[in-house]
Amino acid sequence: MNERVPIELEVNGEAVAKYVEPRLSLADFLREELELTGTHQGCEMGACGACLVLLNGKAVHSCLMFAVQAHGDHVETVEGLSQRKAIADIQQAFHNNNALQCGFCTAGMLVTAHELLSRNTTPTRHEIRDGLSGNYCRCTGYQAIVDSIVSVARSRAGNVDTPASPGERGTAS
């Protein structure tokens, strides 16, 4: 039963053909076989959001599917999104606002933010918090992440916020 089966898929724009054990999760496949370790695992049961990737353009938990299920699909990870600069503005906003501390949740947060902003270009803070409801972060308290998504939405809409120079966030916000 440990025998490997062939799969072919596209990962970050590159064709990948591998033999895998059917029980290998997509997350483990990406991390172990392809060394795309930007995708993390925090619970292996779909409760933390650290392992989110795009499957055919939609955010999914890579721990909640087996690699064999992705045969013929397009998978994109934080590495791919970074490479093609699809989330450069989100990453910049996260950096400006310090919307990450340990960084372990960050890939999942970025994937959620990317998908959320593609569905809803002008989300309210409430909608953003709803969108993030499956992404666990133990470090930040979420506020800077929400701030970052708000600022990206505004700047994408052409309302370039004077991006709060971090100094001004120093006191109250």
Binding of another protein by 84 (CB under 8 A): no
Q: How many CB atoms lie within 10 A of CB 32?
A: 14
Binding of another protein by 8 (CB under 8 A): no
**Total site size for another protein, rule CB under 8 A:** 90
Closest contact distance (angstroms) between CB of 23 and another protein is 4
CB 78 within 8 A of CB 38: yes
Binding of another protein by 165 (CB under 8 A): yes
Binding of another protein by 85 (CB under 8 A): no
Q: What share of the chain is helix, strand, coil (3-state, %, to 5)?
A: 40, 15, 45
Q: Which of 9, 145, 152, 153 binds another protein (CB under 8 A)?
A: 145
DSSP state of 30: I
Q: How far apart are CA 119 and CA 101, in angstroms?
A: 27
Closest contact distance (angstroms) between CB of 74 and another protein is 14
Binding of another protein by 70 (CB under 8 A): no
Q: Which amino acid is at 87?
A: I
Closest contact distance (angstroms) between CB of 85 and another protein is 11
Binding of another protein by 33 (CB under 8 A): no
Q: Which of 10, 16, 18, 46 binds another protein (CB under 8 A)?
A: 46
DSSP state of 25: B
CB 100 within 8 A of CB 124: no
